[in-house]
Amino acid sequence: MSTIAENIAKVGARIRRAAEAVQRDSQGISLLAVSKTKPAAALREAYAAGQRDFGENYLQEALDKQRELADLPLTWHFIGPIQSNKTKPIAEHFAWVHSVDRLKIAERLSAQRPAGLPPLNICLQVNVSGEDSKSGCAAAELPALAAAVAALPNLRLRGLMAIPEPSDDTAVQRAAFARLRTLGEELELPLDTLSMGMSHDLEAAIAEGATWVRIGTALFGARDYPQASTPSDKGNPA
Ligand SMILES: *Cc1c(COP(=O)(O)O)cnc(C)c1O
């Protein structure tokens, strides 16, 4: 078995154990392999081990890998910060976007979704740690944003996403994820998705209802960045 295949098996076991601990069916929890900064060959290895869903943060890097891996039936998720001048390729080349945090971006994605494709699956990213520097809409803005996004024709609002402040304290981790779950429950919309939990806190996220866990380091190893210019990743152990 390759290291990546072994890591996928280990993360799968963590997901099952975490689900069992809270009497959840682990079938309801999907693994999103976060492959930012990793070469196409690493994704190919993950595919050979059964992985189909991949999350990318940087548009150009993602498009390059999609071209290299066009022979594989992969499902692509965009999970990084979105500039409004980049929405068209995102609308064209992804099945999911987890990081929508303002209406303008959602409107552009809907308008630019090609007619032949199914609606783009959307998660709204919410700032659950209340820290100014993080992306995500404020909890107070969420109801209006969710209602407006749910009404857009070429999007399908699936649920919420968060990247809480990293913490080693399980209680703190769970409180942030519980907050996201509660915010979702308070919206009177048919949502089925909570995108929450990363390599260091997937157990806490699963305990609070995660349906996608977004895992990078635990599958592909630590990331190596060329410079310290990765704002979406700041503070995450890598
Ligand atoms: C990088 C990243 C992840 C994966 O984080 P790990 O700690 O490497 O598992 C998950 N979600 C988002 C939005 C990311 O940017």
Are the CB atoms for 36 and 46 separated by under 8 Å?
Answer: no
Residue 57 CA to residue 79 CA, distance in Å, equals: 5
Give the residue from 68, 124, 69, 62 showing the smallest Cα distance to 93. Answer: 62
> Tokens at residue 26, please?
């682990």
Residue 33 CA to residue 217 CA, distance in Å, equals: 9
User: What is the domain extent for residue 101?
Assistant: 4-220
14 lies in a domain? yes
Tell how far the Cα of 214 is from the centroid of ligand 1, in angstroms.
Answer: 6
Closest ligand 1 atom, residue 36 Cα: 1
For the stretch 55-109, pLDDT in tens is: 999 999 999 999 999 999 999 999 999 999 999 999 999 999 999 999 999 999 9
Question: Of all protein residues, whose CA lies closest to atom 6 belonging to ligand 1?
Answer: 216
Sign of CA dihedral 49, 55, 58, 62: positive
Number of separate domains in the chain = 1
Does residue 229 carry a pLDDT above 60? no
Is the shortest distance between the CB of 135 and ligand 1 below 6 Å? no
31 lies in a domain? yes
Tell how far the Cα of 68 is from the centroid of ligand 1, in angstroms.
Answer: 22
Tell how far the Cα of 236 is from the centroid of ligand 1, in angstroms.
Answer: 7
Q: pTM to 2 decimals?
A: 0.93
11 lies in a domain? yes
114 lies in a domain? yes
Residue 165: strand, helix, or coil = coil
CATH number at residue 33: 3.20.20.10
233 lies in a domain? no
237 lies in a domain? no
For the stretch 141-199, pLDDT in tens is: 999 999 999 999 999 999 999 999 999 999 999 999 999 999 999 999 999 999 999 99
226 lies in a domain? no
67 lies in a domain? yes
Closest ligand 1 atom, residue 200 Cα: 7
Is the shortest distance between the CB of 198 and ligand 1 below 6 Å? yes
> Tokens at residue 4, please?
């990546």
One-letter identity of residue 110: S
